[in-house]
Amino acid sequence: MKKLQVTLLSGRSLSQGREKEQGKLSKSYFQSVACCEINGEDIKEIGLDYGENVRISTKYGSVVIKAIAPKQTLERGIVFIPYGIWATQISGSETDGTGMPSYKGISSTLESAKKEKVLTVNQLIKKSFRRKITKKR
Amino acid sequence: MSQNVISNAVCTVCGCSCDHLEVTIDEEKIVKVKNACAMSSGKMLGYMNERITQPLMKKGNTLKPTTYDRAIEATAKTITKSSSPLFYGWSLTSNEAIEIGVDLAEETGGFFDNTTSTCHGPTILGVHEIGESSCTLGEIRHRADLVIYWGANPVHAHPLHMSRYTVMSKGRFRKSRADRKLIVIDVRKTDTAKLADVFIQLKPNSDYELMVALRAAVRGDEIEQEIVAGVPIDKIEELAEMLINCEFGALFFGLGLTMSAGKSKNIEAALSLVAELNSKTKFVIMPMRGHFNVTGANNVTTWLTGYPYAVDFTQGFPRYNPGETSAVDLLARGECDSALIVASDPISNFPYQAAKHLTSVPLITIDPHITPTTMCSNIILPSAHVGIETTGSTYRMDGVVLETRKLVDPPKGVKTDVEILSALLKRVKFLSR
Amino acid sequence: MPKYTLRLKKKIQNPLHLDKISPDGFIDKKINSINDIETWEGNKKVKLKSIFNIKKDLRYKTEEVIIEILGNMANARRIGYQMTKGKITIKGEGGMYLGESMKGGQIIVEGNTGSWLGSEMIGGTITVSGNVGDGIGAASRGTTKGMIGGKIIVNGNSGSDVGAWMQSGTIRICGNSKMFPGLHMKGGTIYIGGNCQGRIGAQMISGKIIISGNIQANPLPSFSFDNISSKARIEKDSIDGPFYVYTGDNNENGKGRIFINVESNSQLKWYEKFLES
Amino acid sequence: MEKEISILNAFVFDPLNNIEGEKLDVHIRNGKIVESVGRKARKINASGKTMMPGGVDIHSHIAGSKVNAGRLLRPEDHRKDVEIKTKHTHSGVGYSIPSTRTTGYRYAKMGYTTVFEPATPPLKTRHTHEELDSTPIIDKGCFPLLGNNWFIMEYLRDGRLDECAAFVAWMMKATKGYGIKIVDPGGVEVWGWGKFIKRLDDPIPNFDVTPREIVRGLCKVNKILNLPHIIHVHTNNLGSPGNYRTTIETMDAVRDLADGKRPIIHITHVQFTGFSGSSWLNLGSGAPEIADYVNDHNHVSVDLGQVIFGDTTTMTADGPFQYFLHQLSGNKWVNLDVEAETGSGIVPFQYKRTNYVNAIQWGIGLELALLVKDPWRVFMTTDHPNGGPFTSYPKVIAWLMSKKAREKMISRINRTARRKLDLPNIDREYTLGEIATITRAAPAKSLTLMNKGHLGLGADADIAIYDLDPSKVDLENKPFTIRKAFKETLYTIKNGKIVSKQGQIAGNSYGNTFYTESQVSKNLEADLIKDIQSRFKDYYTIELENYPITDNFLRNPAKINCEAEV
């Protein structure tokens, strides 16, 4: 399967900012954050359509999220993921002596993950952090 | 119906601290918010979503309801026993709570860090080396005829910034958008960039080179390279001319600068550029602070310890060196044996490796909401929203302090950060005696 | 003088402050008083003997105290702080701020070390067989005095900010380096044998930086191309080039010089047009 | 702790009550000085010791946004001087910009019990109060910066003095401020554009008012409002050669407003505005001229702003001067302008003995102190941390009390400066009584703090007992003994409680924050509010309703009421 080298940016988006106030387990938060903006040419190149799932891997990890059309202009070779638990699965904890990890400008690979599912917050925590969680209230 | 309208309420979302909200309250519920941006009304109307209303403690593998007293007792025992406790968060609470938090870290000999270390920490490291030429936002509103947003996207992250404080605002000496130039420098054409008079798109991770070239151009030095950071030198020189020829320029920068390659050095370059510009005209620089009271967290910590974040109290006095004493580094090295998180969600926000270590030590969280961090916690102490359910003072991004108001009561039985933390401090003092 | 062997007893996860481990601190001390040296493990005051098995070997007939540390000291800070003489050998990781403000003597690490190795160092020699972190020979936050003298030799790779605010002395990195070697440099010499991620000599005022490997892109735009030099000198050694030589940082009115290997940097060939004119 | 204490047999120096070194007993009950106490009172034998009222520092930058920006700028300053947490005290950092707790402890250890932060931008005064509230032990207050305020400049331009007075009264109430501070009148507004003004009669662009009019106007306002302190002025042209003329001109600008009762203008850190000469190369001391003026005119008081050789952090509301210092020194620089009000700047600086300019500056401060004859009108300060940290006060006291101490330093300073200064020819040596005057009695009087700065009946029991026997020690020949004694009290008593004993802080207590309220007539006030409302939104980026500091914001507020004449 075709893999594509891209630069990953993560950042704030208005919808992320708004939806995080709706609660981090909410569907609207999931929809606005568990996604990746990809340029139209790039997504064609890996044989995907918007709305399908994509796998992004860096040297720090790998995560499956939904590919979406850029909400703001995006050049080829750059992908954007809003801040959130999905973005941090693939960001690095090296801080170059500054305390600041690397969230922006990480080189990463993009590939189709049509058949895979995007994990919800609950599933992701179970998978990544193992400590069991339980429903509250 | 007894609707109550509160005017001039202070917003507690981003660093803009807009204080002109008009909030309508009906039977102890906020039903309407005027003058607010999408993020603000999202919070004001959605603050009751996914709330935790009772303290929870892990028994075996499940979280069980408990009382504040028991949860605080267990927390106090855990952190006093620890050799290297971490106290992290603090940017979404009041100065009063932060002050107690610092004392708590001091009392237990721990590490006190706030979210600065993963947003504008590099900015502060840059200021340590270069200083900064800055001002309050009103100065920019009144005087600035040129505004730059570099690696910042206020349309999304600080929605009212431009209309209240910069290009779209009405000042004493600048009446409208037409009186000002807006320059946006970013790696992509953001929604902010679409409003710009001049948009400069640079290659990712090359802000530093562009900043250096721009400074050289401002100085009038010859630049041998023809293209820097993907931008032709002519364009850089043109930009330099604009900067020199303005009467009052303001450079705002965001995480695009602090997070991309170079980090604190990008900021050093920006601060040096602005200092240089002051020999030609008046120029100021300001970071676009994210959380509503991250500036307060820096200020409170600084007046108590001399340092703005990442303070190490393990030896009984404040020590500081981000990269060593900052949360992500401590966690990545595994140097932390318990953690108290206040009003923050590091499990979502920290790189995986650091977050992973957090879930391997006793984790206690004080937060109003269910978050990935509370979901991984051993003890959860629910708290009231500052600025909605309780008062407290907060710092705008430019250091102007405002007193937030209490608009409604917190959910029944839910305590404030100040109440929880002072009870905890009292308990810790008792235990360490 | 004796040799002391410190063998780490257990895996330490908390921050360890070991600034008292230095030949100067051990000199003329009985083994018991060395065992009882107080230090910090996290926020707990502990004695050295709770961390290490300490042996004193009197058979060594060297002139100076030798300290040998066995174990992974990744969580340690400030071993060899302000030492003036003698020798410390670490078999394992060396931790952070190793040899901070060191004035003389020798530190040898058979392994990697963390950040701020030899920060604000004044004299002496540090040799590391593995990789090192960020801020080697740098200044502490806010100050403008980095390494003042001495020598640091790293066989592996280094992080960013090598020799920040350095005033004098020599740093040799045999492997690769991340960004910003010689940041704010005011004097001394930095040599990087491998590749460097760039931004060499940012805001430097004086001093010399030599890069034998590739630097990915152009030097910073505030540097001027000077000439091509067949050799570059570090102390008494001569390193074969040829090298592109640049001066700067012009933004700081700097007179520093950076030497960049011609063969490893074909992307810089275009600078040669300045030679012809 | 004991409610009653008797301090027995001390050599008492209480200039306000004309007591100079008499052996007396002083009794304390419930935080006040009283005639007598019961037999069970705790007794402190102070025979052979020197006792003074607690020190009052009229001008020391200890709290607020620029102080904190200075802390943030200088991690290197903190690293070399730390305070370790003890059972009774918090940890902190020290040196030139100590953390809040350390500030309180260190003042208390030196026997100081009241300190005023002399420059708070009104818009950011909440911050100042947050820090003052976090500063233990000492009483405090702050002076809002009003010399570049848009409302004030406009009222003065339009000749609306009463409204101006009403505005200042409103401001004091809104910010919980104590007195009027003027910094580089008009000059900071001009600095908002990166420009400078030089002369007292230069009109300020866009406002059409001159520095002279601002100083005179606010001097009149101060009288109208009957504020407890007088206008506290940092003149124009600070830090530039020849500026002693500006200083004298500024003093003279209000001469005709004097009523003979007490000074009406205080010129602060006059060392920095006491330069003669026309360039850095021929810089000289303007102290003799300034001292002559002060000696001839009793409407003026000054404080020193003495320079201490060593590393410090300069910080003032004088943005343009700080930029100039940054250019001069090449050191890092912070600038923080505040909308419609003021600005500030910060630059780390090292005063060097061997530097000509610095040596002259050192001489100017001491010359002033020694040439001004009336100790009631010259107060000891270092303009902390601008001239040096407040912890250097013992050094200054030693220089003032001992010619020998001065000679020792003079022999080590830059040679050209040594020849240029008059200082070597000045023989005056301060007595202990005069030291008590310039460090507590006179500043307390200038602030009209009726219960401070003296030990009369009913005074606050703020007391410093120093390990110094004036009957035995030949003071002028023992400067080191003086320094040692004033560095650390035997006892510091605050509100009748022992807060420091031989340098050991007893614990965390918090003093009062003084502020003034001057009530103008209801009609005037109502008109004023209407006027403010009409323009506030145009001038500020926060709402008028959110501007005033609420009443319960301060930890221990202490209101001083005054009667306005309008």
B115-126 confidence digits (pLDDT tens): 999 999 999 999
- Across D400-448, where does the E strand assignment appear? none
Mean pLDDT (whole number) for D49-75: 97
* C77 vs B: CB within 8 A: yes
Report the half-sphere exposure of B312 (CA within 13 A, side-chain side). 26
Q: In the block, which residue shows the tokens 């101490």?
A: D405
**Location of structure tokens 């009019």:** D213
- Cross-strand bridge partners of residue B379: B57, B364
Taking 90 as the threshold, does the pLDDT of residue D507 lie above it?
no
Q: Provide the H-helix boundaries in D258-414.
A: 287-296, 319-329, 356-371, 393-401, 403-410
Query: In this structure, are residues B141 and B165 in contact, taking their beta carbons and an 8 Å threshold?
Result: yes
B85 beta partners:
B338
Cross-strand pairs, A92: A102
pLDDT on residue A134? 41
Q: Which residue has the higher pLDDT, A133 or B76?
A: B76
Residue at A41 is within a domain:
yes
Number of A–C residue contacts, CB under 8 Å: 14
Q: Write out the H or E segment, with its range, that includes residue C56.
A: strand C52-57
B238 touching C (Cβ < 8 Å): no
Report helix, strand or coil for B265. helix
Q: What's the token pair of residue D475? A: 């003071």
- In the structure encoding, which two tokens stand for residue D5, read together? 């204490």
SS3 content of chain B, % helix, strand, coil (to 5): 40, 25, 40
CB-count burial class (<10 Å; 0-12, 13-18, 19+) for D297: middle
B385 DSSP assignment:
P
| Min distance A79 CA to chain C CA atoms (Å) | 23
Residues in chain D with CB shorter than 8 Å from the CB of B135 are 335-339, 343
**Mean pLDDT (chain D, rounded):** 96
Query: What pLDDT is attached to residue C78?
Result: 96
* Domain of residue A52, residue span: 3-129
pTM value is 0.96
Which of chain B's residues have a Cβ under 8 Å away from the Cβ of A88? 348-352, 355
Strands B181-186, B363-367: pairing kind: unpaired
Phi, psi at C27, each rounded to 5°: -60, 135
Residues of B in contact with A6 (CB under 8 A): none
Lowest mean pLDDT among A14-28, B50-64, D389-403: A14-28
Q: How far apart are CA B404 and CA C3, in angstroms?
A: 64
Asked, for residue A47, whether it belongs to a domain, the answer is yes
The nearest CA of chain A is from the CA of B355 a distance in Å of 8
> What integer pLDDT is reported at residue C27 of this predicted model?
87
Is the pLDDT reported for residue A136 higher than 80? no
Structure token pair of residue B210? 């562009």
CATH number at residue A88: 2.40.40.20
Q: Does position A14 have pLDDT exceeding 80, yes or no?
A: no
Smallest Cα distance from C40 to chain D, Å: 14
- pLDDT bracket for residue C62 (50, 70, 90): confident
Identify the pLDDT of residue B1.
Answer: 55
Q: Which residues pair with C263 in a beta bridge?
A: none
- Cα–Cα distance measured from residue D257 to residue D260, given in angstroms and rounded to the nearest whole number: 9
Residue predicted with more confidence, A135 or D368: D368
Q: With CA atoms as reference, report the closest residue to B331 among B84, B159, B145.
A: B84
Mutate to test the interface with B, among C216, C220, C249, C274 (most CBs of B within 10 A): C220
DSSP D554: S
A127 to chain B, any CB pair closer than 8 A? The answer is: no
- Tell me the HSE value of D543 on the side-chain side, using a 13 A CA sphere: 16
Q: Which of A88-102, B74-88, D5-19, D488-502 has the lowest mean pLDDT?
A: A88-102
Residue given tokens 């977050």 in the structure block: B355
Of B42, B153, B264, the CB nearest to A98: B264
Is residue C2 reached through a cis peptide bond, with omega within 30 degrees of 0 on the bond before it? no
In B151-261, the DSSP E strands lie at 181-186, 198-201, 227-228, 231-232, 248-253
Torsion of CA A12, B347, B373, A31, to 10 degrees: 40
Cβ–Cβ < 8 Å for D140, D115: yes
Whether A137 is in a domain gets the answer no
Q: Once rounded to an integer, what is the mean pLDDT over residues D280-292?
A: 96
Tell me which of B113 and A96 has the higher pLDDT: B113
Query: What is the tens place of the pLDDT at every residue in D363-382?
Result: 999 999 999 999 999 999 99
Q: Which residues of B100-113 are buried (b: 16+ CB within 10 A; e: fewer)?
A: bbbbbbbbbbbbbb
Cα–Cα nearest to C245, from C201, C203, C277? C201
pLDDT higher at C155 or C11: C155
Window 242-301 of B, Cβ < 8 Å to D = 247-248, 275, 278-279, 281-284, 298-300
In a domain, A134, yes or no: no
Give the model confidence (pLDDT) of A114-130 as tens digits: 999 999 999 999 888 87
CB B383 within 8 A of CB B89: no
Predicted pLDDT of residue B318: 98
Residue B187's alpha-carbon distances to A67, B240, B260, in angstroms, are: 20, 19, 11
Main-chain dihedrals φ then ψ at residue C152, nearest 5 degrees: -125, 125
- Using a CB-CB cut-off of 8 Å, the residues of chain C touching B211 are none
Predicted pLDDT at D115? 98
Is D46 or C10 the better-scoring residue by pLDDT? D46
What is the per-residue pLDDT for A135? 41
Is B131's CB within 8 Å of D334's CB? yes
Average pLDDT over residues B404-410: 96
Number of domains in chain A: 1
A86 lies in some domain: yes
Chain C: give the shortest CA distance to residue A97, in Å: 6
**Order of strands, sheet of D55-57, starting from the edge strand that comes earlier in the sequence:** D55-57, D112-120, D139-144, D513-519, D557-563
**Percent of chain D residues past pLDDT 90, beyond the cut:** 96
Under CATH, what is the fold of the domain B121-287? Dimethylsulfoxide Reductase; domain 2 (3.40.228)
Mean pLDDT of B81-106: 97
* Alpha carbon of B388: minimum distance to chain A alpha carbons (Å): 13
Confidence of residue B387 (pLDDT cuts 50, 70, 90): very high
CA torsion sign for B79, B82, B87, B88 is: negative
Is residue A65 within 8 A of residue A34, CB to CB? The reply is yes
Please determine whether the domains at B56-118+292-431 and B121-287 fall in the same fold group of CATH.
no
Contact C43 B110 (CB under 8 A): yes
DSSP single-letter state for residue B320: E
Cα separation of the two ends of chain C? 64
**Confidence (pLDDT) at A20:** 78
For the residues C176-203, what does the mean pLDDT come to? Answer: 97
Residue-range domain boundaries for chain B: 3-46, 56-118+292-431, 121-287
- Please give the DSSP secondary-structure letter assigned to residue D437: I
Shortest CA distance to B122 belongs to which of B251, B15, B270?
Answer: B270
- Fold (CATH) for B56-118+292-431: Rossmann fold (3.40.50)
What pLDDT is attached to residue C227?
Answer: 94
Amino acid at B201: Q
Q: Does B308 touch chain D (CB under 8 A)?
A: yes
User: Which H or E element spans position B410?
Assistant: none
pLDDT for position D2: 55
Whether residue A74 lies inside any domain: the answer is yes
Q: What is the pLDDT of residue A131?
A: 56
Q: Considering only CB atoms, which chain D residues are within 8 Å of C142?
A: 73-77
Q: Which residues pair with D51 in a beta bridge?
A: D12, D465
Cα–Cα distance for residue pair B124/D559, rounded to 1 Å: 38
Q: Which chains touch B (3 or more CB pairs under 8 A)?
A: A, C, D
* Widest CA span in chain B: 73
Tens digits of per-residue pLDDT, D313-331?
Answer: 999 989 889 999 999 899 9
- Nearest-CA distance from C159 to chain A in Å? 7
Average pLDDT taken over every residue of chain A: 88
